Chains A and B, each alone.
Chain A
Amino acid sequence: GAVVSQHPSWVICKSGTSVKIECRSLDFQATTMFWYRQFPKQSLMLMATSNEGSKATYEQGVEKDKFLINHASLTLSTLTVTSAHPEDSSFYICSARVDTGVSYNEQFFGPGTRLTVL
């Protein structure tokens, strides 16, 4: 199956700093990528849908100025948590959707990034 990577796998930062998380589709091009966050012992909640070359679509309740998403190419989307605070500590998972071929419309997930804000 298609492979999606995330970097870094974990990050610890001080409150008030910004953190960038990268999501890459390694062996396919993804017009659409998604960003989820997961709190301990809870399910994945969609934060935003990222479309290559256009502005991301954010879910209700997600602050677009705090969670900056850029999808500059068909293989890379980035999530920047600006002015991070302890309540932003979470597990962030990206996924990329396949747009062609036998896996059409299937989403493949990255391994996740554990963010801890001190």
Chain B
Amino acid sequence: KQEVTQIPAALSVPEGENLVLNCSFTDSAIYNLQWFRQDPGKGLTSLLLIQSSQREQTSGRLNASLDKSSGRSTLYIAASQPGDSATYLCAVNQAGTALIFGKGTTLSVSS
């Protein structure tokens, strides 16, 4: 059974720092991997989707990488801002099934 783990569970950084969030999964037979952002009490905002054949995806200050063989993905946030404070969720998609989520990393960026 696929399991998704995110480390760290929480992270506090000062504004301007670059940071990395980690996601690992136990079954490498995935179709794609997605990173989401969730603000308190709100729904999910899709940030980046990486297909299994891709190594990375970039959107603005965000860069997500995927190493399928080792079961790892990272989300890199450059020049962090207070507005980046949220919970970041990693989810894997195995063909024919629902997305399986990690427990998330709660990020706090102080000004």
Would A43 and B32 count as touching, CB distance under 8 A? no
B76-94 contacts to A (CB < 8 Å):
89, 93
Neighbour of B100 across the interface among A46, A108, A110, CB < 8 A: A46
**Contacts A44-B89, A93-B44: A105 and B103 contacting too (C-beta < 8 A)?**
no
Does B99 contact A43, Cβ atoms closer than 8 Å?
no
**A85, B75: Cα distance in complex, Å:** 39
Q: Write the nearest CB–CB distance from A82 to chain B, whole angstroms.
A: 23
Other-chain residue from B43, B95, B98 in contact with A107 (beta carbon distance below 8 A)? B98
Selected contact of B103 from candidates A43, A91, A93, A106, CB within 8 Å: A43
How many Å lie between the Cα of A34 and that of B104 in the bound state? Answer: 20
Interface residues of A in 30-81 (CB under 8 A from B): 34, 36, 42-44, 46, 49
CA distance in complex: A82, B41 (Å):
24
A112 vs B41: C-alpha distance in the bound complex, in angstroms? Answer: 9
**From residue 76 to 118 of chain A, which have CB atoms closer than 8 A to chain B?**
91, 93, 95, 105-112, 114
Contacts of A110 in B (CB 8 A): 43
> Please, how many angstroms separate the alpha-carbon atoms of A45 and B51 in the complex?
23
B101 x A109 contact (CB < 8 A) = no
Does A105 lie within 8 Å of B32, measured CB to CB?
Answer: yes
A95 to chain B, nearest CB (A): 7
Decide: A109 and B46 in contact? CB cutoff 8 A: yes
Q: Mark B31-61, 1 if CB is under 8 A from A, else 0.
A: 1101010000111101001000000000000
4 residue pairs, one from A and one from B, having the closest CB atoms: A111-B43, A112-B43, A43-B103, A34-B98
Q: A44-B89, A109-B36, A114-B41 given; name 11 further pairs at CB < 8 Å.
A: A1-B46, A42-B103, A43-B102, A49-B98, A91-B41, A93-B43, A93-B44, A105-B31, A109-B43, A111-B42, A112-B44
Chain A residues within 8 Å of B, Cβ to Cβ: 1, 34, 36, 42-44, 46, 49, 91, 93, 95, 105-112, 114
- List 23 contacting pairs A-B, 8 Å CB cutoff, sorted by A: A1-B46, A34-B99, A36-B98, A43-B103, A44-B44, A46-B100, A49-B97, A49-B98, A91-B41, A93-B44, A95-B99, A105-B31, A105-B32, A105-B93, A106-B32, A106-B34, A107-B98, A108-B46, A109-B36, A109-B44, A110-B43, A111-B43, A114-B41
